[in-house]
Structure 1
């Protein structure tokens, strides 16, 4: 493919979370480089929030934002939407179709069975990797993955962890594959100084068990500052396990030590704490770890998913997931030795600045498109 401006169709199901953030960052970066980008999303689950997010992308989506039914599992939309996407790709005369997540990748590669000459790329973003191989749904999705590899120009993994997991569950890709880490925008590398009344620790994430919220408050109950006073914590976010979390906080007598502030922008919340804690039980490549480190907060996290890739030279500091005692020890150590925590933060920051920027991510994806 020559150096002409590309026409790219990005396909995803729900415009939420880290997957959508990745697509939005990629769309804006490609548009800034002169390429024409279109977006395909689900028409079944849109609400005021998703519409607001999509409206903010319209200026960078020169090929439009298109909506088709994309059921979360299997449904009637799976019989019609692949044909609609294929027809749209032909009408828009796109060079590249890029599917994101299980459903986006499914539709993107089925579109290649039509009369399309576009090259087809796929980024799992977890997606199909979340279906266990010993369950009927997992067996079905994994079988589909193996069949669709024949129609895939390349698979782009957002972490080496995702690539390894894909190979373990589905098999080594028979098409080209590569790892391109997600990245942060330049403004996200600006430091966020703590407020005068900042808590010792801050958590940003969905309030559900998978994010390690219960071991976190259990750990906090054991943590004191060097002067012997009890440490405190700000938790931002909402989710299905909020009531259970509030109940545990009450049972542990932590009502005056844990402050729940609801869903707010991450950088606003980072100012409410001096150190960040990401105690997840499972992850892929969480943005919040990158964001907190880029904001120049010391970070405690668990050895799950691709977090070790973000921690880089400080990966040996990661702790086991679900271990409240280990988490408490790490939190106590961070308060007792702030200079050491800051040195680790600076090493982590340098690693993230070098390898986790939007410019680097988008440049690598664009080069892959052209090399196809």
Structure 2
């Protein structure tokens, strides 16, 4: 092993979504810097698609990809998996164990009770922050978080919003903290060109109410002839299809299923992110890097991406305001392109994979 390289174990539950995208990018980048990386994921949620995704990472995971049961809420795996992770960390002589999301964060820090020498890091990625203190599950998760603080070398928040929310729900961390924004790979800054028959707007995300899909189609209903492509799948797809029919939008809304974001960007001229809650969504960064205008809601860490342009963000759940922003794009393409250039410059300057990995690597070495 090269001098100065670290042996790192990344722990997460399900290899899907923005959390996994973050772990996959970080794994590839750390591997390119001659660190040895292993990955721990759930055995309970795997299917053919997730196996293909993990297989593509094998070449960058020199310490292997390991699977243990990680129930979404509470289950038998919560009693056995922390011990299994501790044994694995000892066998692999791990320096750094980094948990991602609520369950990954729990297991990474609980493993230290197995008297391993590794330092534990934790990135919430929303995770435990989505559980309200008014719910029993939320109070339980928050209590566990407070109990594990003493085992944590540092908590890495992907946004200042996540740090504020964590402090409000759980208390100000007693361990070291850092804000490390998500970052994009260099090739993601290549522009995506839309064909002449492209739709006016595109949405990419999970089809569930939290993503603002219902205010989105309600806003579209007030814009004559505007067309929308929606990519993704999720539990609220049947209800969404019913609402589209009810609004008479079947000829103007196209549901294309789950597809890579850049493929979908080529189907439209403006990306809509109408979420009711977020932390620091990759889709906003990806759309800006692809050089498409972005209309987004003022939630979570999205204002941190927009910076000085944050005042033009739309209130969440407000179909009228969303329709106004969409009409503004249709009526003012020159201004929309100027806004896009401003956002692109901000994302290029502060949201690169290299910057993200530099910050995380520095924290690892400091511990």
Pairwise TM-score range, normalised by the shorter structure: over 0.9
Residue in 2 that maps onto 1:55 = 55
Please state whether the residue corresponding to 2:79 is helix, strand or coil.
helix
2:284 is equivalent to residue 293 of structure 1: no
Cα distance in 2 for residues equivalent to 1:175 and 1:112: 15
Does residue 266 of structure 1 match 2:261? Answer: yes
Aligned to 1:227: none
C-alpha contact 1:211 1:280 (8 A) present in aligned 2: yes
CA distance in 2, matches of 1:101, 1:238: 21
Does structure 2 retain, via aligned residues, the 8 Å contact 1:150–1:175? yes
The count of residues paired between Structure 1 and Structure 2 equals 366
Q: Secondary structure at the match of 1:112?
A: helix
Q: Deviations over 1:14-56 (max 9, x none)?
A: 1111111111000000000000001111112211111111111
C-alpha deviation, 1:235, in angstroms = 1.2
Shift in Å, 1:138 = 1.0
Contact map agreement 1:120 1:151 (CA 8 A) in 2: yes
State the match for 1:324 in structure 2: 319
For residues 271 and 184 of structure 2, what CA distance do their matches in structure 1 show?
A: 17
| Post-superposition CA distance 1:210-243 (Å, at most 9, x none) | 111111111111124xxxxx21111111222222
Greater displacement, 81-90 / 171-180? 81-90
In structure 2, distance between residues paired with 1:351 and 1:273: 22
1:358 aligns with 2:348: no
**TM-score (normalizing by structure 1):** 0.96
Are the counterparts in 2 of residues 313 and 348 from structure 1 also a CA contact under 8 Å?
A: no
Q: Say yes or no: does 1:88 pair with 2:88.
A: yes
Map Cα deviations across residues 281-304 of structure 1 (whole Å, 9 max, x no partner).
111111111111110110101011
Name structure 2 gaps, 5 residues minimum: none
In structure 1, what is the equivalent of residue 71 of structure 2? Answer: 71
SS of residue paired to 1:75: coil
**1:3: how far off?**
6.5
* In 2, Cα distance between equivalents of 1:245 and 1:44: 28
Measured on the aligned residues, the alpha-carbon RMSD in Å equals 1.2
Contact 1:157 1:177 (C-alpha < 8 Å) held by counterparts: yes
After superposition, residues 31-46 of structure 1 pair within 5 angstroms as 31-46=31-46
Runs of 4+ with >6 A deviation: none
Structure 1 pair 142–24 and aligned structure 2 pair: CA distance change class (3 A):
same
Distance change (3 Å), C-alpha of 1:246 and 1:133:
same
Tell me the residue number matched to 1:200.
200
Report the counterpart of residue 9 of structure 1 in structure 2.
9
Q: Distance in 2 between matches of 1:165 and 1:258?
A: 35
- Distance in 2 (CA, whole Å) between partners of 1:11 and 1:242 is 30
Question: Which one is further off, 240-249 or 168-177?
Answer: 240-249
Q: How far apart in 2 are the matches of 1:238 and 1:10?
A: 27
Q: Any unmatched runs of 5+ in structure 1?
A: 225-229
Shift of 1:313: 2.3
